[in-house]
Amino acid sequence: MNPATIVLAGRRGPAGCHMNKRPLSVTIVSWLFIGAGTVGLTYHATHFKALNPFDYELLGICLIRLLAIVFGAFMLRGRNWARWGAVVWIGYHVGLSVLHTLSELLMHSLLFAGIAYFLFRSRASAYFGGTTGNRTESESAVK
């Protein structure tokens, strides 16, 4: 193995010979998370009041919105934990929707299904460092 090769998230870095190209579906889902998190965080941050700066419900909502931004940004970088975090994040919203209208539950359920589909397709799994049938040099050396 070439010492100049950098291994990040199951892919070889710039000094390596190849890197998995990010699927367009992952890019779109990631930017949707970043956008939704940014819009939601901006909207809810305007509700902070000087008289009650530690409204814990509002802090929780803002934290959830911030998590969407973090998951989206790190999915763009190919981090598998961010993919799982994004699926849990939208799953949490499906759970919350049970307490609201049927149309909201259906919308969040459809979003959940679509996001899970696009993030767990074979190309996306390969991008996130899943098994593709190809072994890295270090895995081959173990055998």
Tell me, yes or no, whether 41 lies in a domain: yes
Q: Per-residue pLDDT tens for 18-72?
A: 457 999 999 999 999 999 999 999 998 887 776 676 778 888 999 999 999 999 9
Please tell me the total count of domains within the chain: 1
Q: Per-residue pLDDT tens for 72-124?
A: 999 999 999 999 999 999 999 999 999 999 999 999 999 999 999 999 999 99
Tell me, yes or no, whether 45 lies in a domain: yes
pLDDT of residue 19: 59
The pLDDT mean for the chain works out to: 82
Tell me, yes or no, whether 39 lies in a domain: yes
Full residue range of the structural domain in which residue 108 is found: 22-129
| pTM, entire model | 0.75
Tell me, yes or no, whether 2 lies in a domain: no
Tell me, yes or no, whether 136 lies in a domain: no
Q: How confident is the model at residue 131 (pLDDT cuts 50, 70, 90)?
A: low
C-alpha dihedral (88, 82, 121, 19), degrees to nearest 10: 180
Tell me, yes or no, whether 85 lies in a domain: yes
